[in-house]
Chains A and B, each alone.
Chain A
Amino acid sequence: QAGLTQLPSVSKGLRQTATLTCSGNNFNIDNQGVSWLQQRQGHPPKLLSYRNDNRPSGISERFSASRSGNTASLTITGLQPEDEADYYCATWDNSLRGWVFGGGTKLTVV
């Protein structure tokens, strides 16, 4: 299954800012937009943003997402211990007629 490309891991300090990136192609991110999911250990994924830069109700303003062409970014400001999790980007791929996910970025807050 063709997927999106994410860095496997990022480590940042408490109260710092982390920017996670996700790369796709013209059939998915550029055409359909991207969403971001947070998955804490032992829990189901949680939607952080959808359609590139929209935040669902109840998601902290510390999480902001954007997209430029085939690359999407998730920025987390004021890192807290509870932000330590795996972060996945996801998009609908029109050529595959299905959802594709990035491999996930493990964020460590030190």
Chain B
Amino acid sequence: QVQLQQWGAGLLKPSETLSLTCAVYGDSFAGYYWSWIRQPPGKGLEWIGESNYSGTTNYSPSLNSRVTISVDTSKNQFSLKLSSLTAADTAVYYCARGLASYGRRAGLDFWGQGTPVTVSS
């Protein structure tokens, strides 16, 4: 059974950098897309960005200037860094595995447990 386990600091100050890591257990790291998604309190889901096995990334246009997603294939892990934090970045952050089928994205099938992140002075 595939499991995604994530961790990172949950309380940060404005202007600091968020750093989260997600470890993948139970399946190959290759052949999938590895995403970060966030959910502000009481709101819907917002996609942050993704990386594939070889480190090719796509980022949300609204966050592109502040986001870095990287992979460590030796550890089956991928990480998120989000810089210049403000209170608007307060959210639960999830990692997720993206399926690809016939050259198209098919769905986000396994999710981490979520990390609550609060940005406050």
Q: Which residues of A contact B (CB under 8 A)?
A: 1, 32-33, 35, 37, 44-47, 49-51, 54, 56, 88, 90-92, 96-104
Contact = CB atoms under 8 A, between A and B. Distances in A.
B47 A51 contact: no
B62 to A, nearest CB: 6
Interface size range of chain B in the complex:
20 to 34
A96 B50 CA distance: 13
B60 interface: yes
10 contacts: A32-B105, A37-B45, A44-B94, A45-B96, A50-B107, A91-B105, A98-B50, A99-B37, A100-B47, A103-B44
Given A47-B108, A50-B109, A98 B45 contact: no
A98 B112 CA distance: 19
Contacts of B26: none
Nearest to B97: A47
A45 B45 contact: yes
Nearest to B102: A51
B46 A44 contact: no
B75 interface: no
B105 A92 contact: yes
A38 B34 CA distance: 20
Contacts of B23: none
Nearest to A56: B109
A1 B61 contact: yes
A24 to B, nearest CB: 14
A1 B112 contact: no
A51 B101 contact: yes
B85 to A, nearest CB: 19
A46 B114 CA distance: 12
